Amino acid sequence: MFDAVFLDRDGTLIEDPGYLSDPAEVVLVPGASDAVRILNESGIPVILITNQSGIGRGYYTEADFMAVQAEVERQLAAHGAHLDDVYFCPHDPDRETCACRKPGSALFRLAAREHGLRLHNCLFVGDRARDVVPGIEFGANAILVAGPDGRYDQTAPVGVPRRAAPFEAIREALRTERQLSQPFQIAVFVSGSGTNLQALLDRFPGGAGGDARVSRVIASRPGIGAIARAETAGVPWSVLPAGASPDGLADAMLQELELARADIVVLAGFLKLVPEAVVRTYRGRILNIHPALLPAFGGNGMYGKRVHEAVIRSGARISGATVHVVDEEYDHGAIVAQWPVPVLEGDDADSLAARILTIEHRLLPDVVGAFAAGDVVTDQAGRPEWIRPLYAAERFELGPTIA
């Protein structure tokens, strides 16, 4: 992981009104506190390095800067975040030349000495070319974030990754680093007894070791069987807030997924519609298991026993299980994999459900394992592309288990 992340302040961490000297004008950039908190929880030092030429120009004093900085840190603390250190250049570039004003490297080198950092193994994040150029010179990773108008500093070197906001920049950078050094992390949302969760826990145990693991279980309500399964497996779990507004639910889900460091999200009997903000953030990386062959017998209200009752009423002779990508509608996203199951003479909803469930317990872990192995990927629209086939055989066997 990164030795540290160097953040710019004005325009990156907080809004930049120009020569800020009044603590009352401090406004955190949306998502900035979440970005810092994620780094804190990852054990990565967050070091602020900022040019403050307003001191040298006489627009405000060093004491004014300290007062503003104290308010920045107070607001971060209110969101459970903190900075590990702050360095600033007070010089007026029109009157004096110094090595500490960015893109100069003096303050970065000082931070490296004082914190024992390898500068080539740090991440540099800012909204100006001068914030990221030092990182490039050190051979480190650098990310340019957009200004308040959504535009990027056009003087930044070609090839520097660009992200709309600090939260996106930090999340993507950490995800890339985790792919190199940590197991593939699976977050699972549940609402019931958790038999599909158990299938995932059996295939991808929590704890250390392995190429993939279930890193967190998130329940829609307390007291359900899935929570007991998570506890038995030693996997962290939590419960979403009851009665939350759509925005509140989205915030809570996103926070849980960051705690899970989720590479993929699985709905294993989760009965809530995933908020648009969550779908947007994890587009193409949220999977659902449905007990029928979509697009038939899906949609709002079609879950559990209701699905099998509808299949039998329809006279259909084949049902099955579907793993699909989640989008903004119930059971609507692109199909990733399916397996058919016959509807037998004399079947009722319970007997059909039992046979399909044995398929779900195999199909869902197999698909998740394929994502972890890179055998299937999704594009920006969330459409899957298989690099290697899920099963070697191309012939389906209509039976209670997968051949």
Residues tagged active-site = 290
Tokens representing 343? 């509807």
Output Rg (C-alpha) for the chain, integer angstroms: 25
Element (H, E) at 55: helix 53-56
The closest alpha carbon to 273, from 289, 296, 250, 297, belongs to 250
| Interatomic CA distance for residues 130 and 107, integer angstroms | 13
Whole-angstrom Cα distance, residue 59 to residue 16?
Answer: 15
Helix, strand, or coil here: 361?
helix
Q: Is the dihedral of CA 27, 32, 34, 40 positive or negative?
A: negative
Q: How many CB atoms lie within 10 A of CB 165?
A: 18
∠ CA 161-163-169, nearest 5°, is 90
Nearest to 352 by CA among 396, 324, 321: 321
A 10 A CB-CB count for 18 gives 7
The DSSP 8-state label assigned to residue 157 in this structure reads P
The contacts of residue 236 (CB under 8 Å, 6+ apart) are 206, 215, 216, 217, 230, 259, 260
Q: Which of 6, 8, 3 is nearest to 121 (CA)?
A: 3
Contact 314, 293 (CB under 8 A): no
